[in-house]
């Protein structure tokens, strides 16, 4: 799943039009279209704003190719780090 796919899923799951999404984030509708069509990508600052607005981790947007994370997004699962499994 690409960043564009995730942006589209977040937007449509909250019944936001591309116009409304653009207004919320202070960008052009064309930028939203380009992201969702994988023509361009949001910058890191914008990814951070999107993650905070939708209350998801920044890692979800950046590591979108992770099959586990992509699958969890489909079911709107809340993410919580497991510090016990982290290497020392």
Query: Has residue 50 got a pLDDT over 70?
Result: yes
| C-beta of residue 57 within 8 angstroms of C-beta of residue 51 | yes
Query: Has residue 32 got a pLDDT over 90?
Result: yes
Whole-model pTM: value is 0.71
CB atoms inside a 10 Å sphere around CB 1: 17
CB atoms inside a 10 Å sphere around CB 34: 16
- Residue 59 makes CB contacts below 8 A (sequence gap 6+) with 69, 79
Of all helices (H) and strands (E), which one includes residue 87?
A: none
Query: Has residue 87 got a pLDDT over 50?
Result: no
Output the pLDDT for position 73.
Answer: 60
């Amino acid at each position: 799943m690409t960043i564009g796919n995730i942006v589209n899923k977040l937007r449509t799951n909250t019944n936001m039009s591309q116009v409304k999404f653009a207004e919320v984030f202070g960008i052009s509708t064309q930028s939203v279209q380009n992201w969702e069509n994988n023509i361009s990508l949001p910058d890191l600052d914008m990814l951070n704003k999107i993650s905070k607005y939708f209350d998801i981790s920044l890692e979800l947007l950046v590591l979108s190719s992770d099959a586990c994370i992509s699958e969890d997004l489909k079911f709107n699962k809340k993410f919580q780090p497991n510090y016990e499994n982290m290497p020392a």
